[in-house]
């Protein structure tokens, strides 16, 4: 689908203003480019190139993989970037060599089946060595210029050995090493004869599972990180185990990443418990300094000579000063599926997101995290702000509704057993009355729609509306609070009379409905779901007006409409953000960039931005290309006061 769009001259692309996301769970997924100006990292099936010298960090994307990227490497001069992916069992996994200057594919290789575990450029950038996954377990050397494989051989000596990593020498272009479970080998290949000769490292009585390895600048020693938490030193001339360290303490959960400090006898290691440590490579290989950060340390690279960058499995990036060895959090983002996103009423400079692990509030101006709320071992499925913005109301998979202060993150109140299993949808009323501050309408996977009266001191269930047979996926309320509409996985959309607490009407669609939204004058609604269509319905009698096929093959998960009703935006499993004209029903703008399915899209209150969230944990901020007359909308002037109370400034 993406390839067809790139060749289609009729569609207009959405401009991507910014992006929040990083696949930190992949080993060696973050690099500083040799030019010192760019950061290169993985996000799902996309490679992101971030120019840190430009204002707001200009980003470019390398799109070409059809599934999540499994490994990446950059050549010594930075001329090439190589990446590969995971694919389905029995199918070949693509390896792409990118030209960094043009940001285009230079070569594409396919030979390994299922997955490419690791890859590495030779020191002269002429060859690329790739290692297949557990089901493939072969090592292949490719000639990049000719675009052909030189040789391919089994990576381990028997069925018990499984190679996990490959690394190249720094002085010999025809040598490399592989390590893994019950295997540690060095290789030398002859490009003319198309043969590779391997030698097993003599480890004596030592048996280890080696997760990572690196060769020093002079090709004298190789350093290997093990799951038992020790660093092995191997003599590459004698092919013998030399020593291990540190002598007294091991790194908990193993050594996952290694970085050699140039022109010194020091090495930086990252462990599974979040420890980053500097060790001696001579003597007893003692620990010199160490610091602990959040998550497994999966990537290490130099930012400058006296600073390193450490990427973690929680998709956080830390900067560590080598003199003081103090860690500073530089960037953070979600590291699992983002389930929901919302703006406060009449405020477009901050937004909140809900993930399987936490809730976060972001500043849209610089994409910085303002607040992180974590409830241990629970997943947040939906969230919304109340109308005055002093509470962030969230729904969780333990059946509870929790309200937090958006500035402090403190728990204000919670409703126990709001739904039987999981709270899946939330909305709040617009008008206050004498005996309550506002109402909350919630939906759950039990099919119930429940109305709650909320005050500072208590929360009371006003009514339980049970007609849906499946999970309630979305709820929207009218401006006068007299009616709401709910969509469900059972294919029904129900209009509820909130004064009499009864169903006023119901409409059915042959799909798993994912989203519903009112037209601005509330005379119509839009629905979307797994039938790939966006349907227009009459609010008065529930009659179907029209249907638009918004995707050729995939579900539409997210839906929103502009305040003037001229456009609506949608996104789904086809990974595309699409802007449609409401009356004409045609797509006028398309945003390409997501690497996994889009879970929701939303317009900012000022109609300037579109935010889309996805299953890989990414948040994309798109510039809405059409000008909207904001004089027609009330309350926008309230934004500045909300921002001041929230601590956000321009």
pLDDT of 642 strictly over 70: no
CATH 2.130.10.10 assigned to domain 375-508? The reply is yes
Do residues 278 and 284 make contact, with C-beta atoms less than 8 angstroms apart? Answer: no
Edge-first strand order for the sheet with 80-85 is 69-74, 80-85, 92-99, 104-113
Residue 341 CA to residue 609 CA, distance in Å, equals 13
Domain with CATH 2.130.10.10 in the chain: 48-293, 375-508
SS3 318: strand
Q: Which two structure tokens, joined as six digits, stand for 55? A: 């204002």
pLDDT in tens, 326-358: 999 998 999 999 999 999 999 999 999 999 889
pLDDT at 26: 93
CB atoms within 10 A of CB 471: 20
Name the fold adopted by 48-293: Methylamine Dehydrogenase; Chain H (2.130.10)
Do residues 48 and 41 make contact, with C-beta atoms less than 8 angstroms apart? Answer: yes
pLDDT at 639: 43
Could you tell me the pTM of the whole model? 0.86
pLDDT at 57: 62
Sequential DSSP letters for 464-524: EEE--SS-EEEEEE-TTSSEEEEEETTSEEEEEETTTTEEEEEEE-SS-EEEEEE-TTSSE
pLDDT of 594 strictly over 70: yes
pLDDT at 212: 95
What percentage of the chain carries pLDDT values higher than 90? Answer: 73
**Helix or strand (DSSP H, E) at 640:** helix 639-646
Do residues 574 and 586 make contact, with C-beta atoms less than 8 angstroms apart? Answer: no
Do residues 119 and 84 make contact, with C-beta atoms less than 8 angstroms apart? Answer: yes
Antiparallel, parallel or unpaired: β 12-13 and 587-592: parallel
Q: Which residues contact 190 (CB under 8 A, 6 or more apart)?
A: 174, 196, 197
Closest CA to 337 of 613, 624, 89, 588: 613
pLDDT of 88 strictly over 70: yes
Q: Which two structure tokens, joined as six digits, stand for 481? A: 């609070």
According to DSSP, the residues that pair with 318 across neighbouring strands are 310, 329
The one-character DSSP state at 2 is H
CB atoms within 10 A of CB 372: 12
Residue 360 CA to residue 76 CA, distance in Å, equals 38
pLDDT in tens, 129-144: 999 988 888 999 999 9
Residue 77 CA to residue 34 CA, distance in Å, equals 6
pLDDT at 3: 40
DSSP H helix total and E strand total for the chain: 2, 57
Residue 398 CA to residue 395 CA, distance in Å, equals 9
- Per-residue confidence at 52, pLDDT binned at 50, 70, 90? confident
Residue 486 CA to residue 466 CA, distance in Å, equals 11
């Amino acid at each position: 689908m993406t390839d067809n769009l790139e060749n289609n001259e009729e569609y207009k692309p959405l401009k991507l203003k910014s992006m929040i996301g990083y696949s930190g769970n992949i080993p060696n997924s973050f690099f500083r480019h040799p030019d010192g100006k760019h950061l290169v990292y993985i996000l799902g099936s996309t490679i992101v190139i971030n120019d840190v010298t430009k204002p707001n960090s200009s980003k470019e994307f390398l799109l070409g993989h059809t599934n999540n990227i499994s490994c990446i490497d950059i050549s010594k001069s930075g001329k090439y970037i190589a990446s590969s992916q995971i694919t389905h069992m029995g199918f070949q996994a693509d390896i792409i060599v990118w030209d960094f200057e043009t940001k285009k594919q230079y070569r594409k290789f396919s030979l390994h089946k299922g997955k490419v575990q690791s890859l590495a450029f030779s020191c002269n950038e002429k060859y690329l060595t790739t290692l297949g996954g557990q089901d493939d377990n072969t090592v292949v050397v490719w000639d990049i210029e000719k675009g052909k494989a030189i040789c391919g051989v089994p990576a381990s000596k028997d069925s018990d050995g499984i190679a996990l990593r490959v690394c190249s020498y720094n002085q010999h272009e025809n040598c490399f090493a592989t390590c893994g479970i019950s295997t540690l080998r060095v290789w030398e290949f002859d490009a003319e004869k198309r043969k590779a000769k391997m030698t097993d490292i003599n480890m004596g009585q030592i048996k280890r599972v080696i997760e990572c390895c690196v060769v020093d600048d002079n090709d004298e020693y190789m350093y290997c990180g093990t799951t038992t938490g020790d660093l092995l030193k191997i003599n590459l001339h004698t092919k013998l185990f030399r020593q291990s360290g540190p002598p007294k303490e091991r790194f908990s959960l193993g050594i996952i990443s290694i970085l050699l400090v140039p022109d010194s006898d020091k090495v930086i290691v990252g462990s599974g418990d979040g420890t980053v440590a500097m060790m001696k490579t001579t003597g007893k290989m003692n620990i010199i300094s160490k610091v602990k950060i959040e998550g497994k340390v999966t990537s290490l690279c130099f930012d400058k000579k006296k600073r390193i960058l450490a990427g973690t499995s929680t998709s956080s990036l830390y900067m560590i000063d080598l003199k003081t060895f103090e860690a500073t959090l530089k960037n953070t983002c979600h590291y699992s599926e983002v389930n929901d996103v919302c703006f406060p009423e009449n405020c477009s400079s901050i937004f909140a997101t809900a993930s399987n692990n936490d809730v976060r509030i972001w500043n849209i101006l610089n994409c910085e995290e303002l607040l992180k709320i974590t409830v241990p071992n629970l997943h947040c499925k939906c969230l919304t702000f109340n109308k005055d913005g002093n509470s962030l109301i969230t729904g969780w998979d333990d059946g509870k509704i929790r309200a937090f202060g958006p500035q402090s993150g403190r728990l204000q109140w919670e409703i126990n057993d709001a739904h039987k299993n999981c709270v899946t949808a939330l909305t709040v009323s617009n008008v206050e009355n004498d005996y309550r501050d506002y109402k909350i309408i919630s939906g759950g996977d039990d099919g119930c729609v429940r109305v709650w009266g909320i005050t500072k001191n208590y929360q009371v269930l006003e009514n339980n509306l049970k007609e849906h047979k499946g999970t309630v996926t979305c709820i929207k309320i009218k401006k006068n609070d007299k009616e709401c509409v709910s969509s469900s996985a059972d294919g029904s959309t129900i209009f509820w009379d909130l004064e009499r607490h009864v169903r006023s009407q119901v409409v059915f669609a042959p799909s798993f409905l994912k989203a519903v939204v009112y037209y601005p004058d509330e005379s119509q609604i839009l629905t979307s779901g797994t039938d790939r269509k966006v349907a227009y319905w009459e609010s008065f009698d529930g009659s179907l007006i029209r249907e638009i096929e918004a995707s050729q093959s995939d579900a539409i998960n997210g839906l929103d409409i502009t305040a003037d009703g001229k456009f609506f935006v949608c996104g789904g499993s086809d990974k595309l953000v699409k802007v449609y004209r409401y009356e004409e029903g045609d797509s006028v703008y398309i945003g390409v960039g997501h690497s996994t399915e889009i879970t929701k899209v939303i317009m900012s209150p000022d109609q300037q931005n579109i935010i889309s969230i996805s299953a890989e944990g990414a948040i994309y901020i798109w510039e809405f290309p059409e000008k909207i007359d904001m004089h027609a909308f009330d309350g926008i002037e309230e934004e500045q006061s909300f921002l001041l109370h929230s601590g956000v400034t321009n």
